[in-house]
Amino acid sequence: MSRKVEELEATISELESTVQGLTEELVDTKEKLRVIEEELGIDVSEIDQHRSVNVEPEYENTVEPPQNDTNQVDNPTADQESTEANERIEEDIIVA
């Protein structure tokens, strides 16, 4: 069981690093967007007011809570296999 705990801790660490990197990238992108909007003289508050009046949600929250299935750890599902494949792919992605 401790091997599984170590794997989970490693996964958590990787996810925290990914979130931190994406957060930094988002902050940089928002700053660049703000500068561009300022240079072009775009008033974002007018756009936001227009959106809030005319936009309705296009989807409902369809996320289901996890079920307590003790066999899930021993028998990987398609989602778990997909997650593992995505982790292998993410190792090759370089975030600037």
Separation of alpha carbons 34 and 28, rounded Å: 10
Q: Within the chain, which residues score under 70 in pLDDT?
A: 48, 50-96
Separation of alpha carbons 26 and 22, rounded Å: 6
Q: Quick one: pLDDT at residue 84?
A: 64
pLDDT tens digits for range 14-30: 999 999 999 999 999 99
pTM of the predicted protein model = 0.44
Tokens coding 36: 């561009």
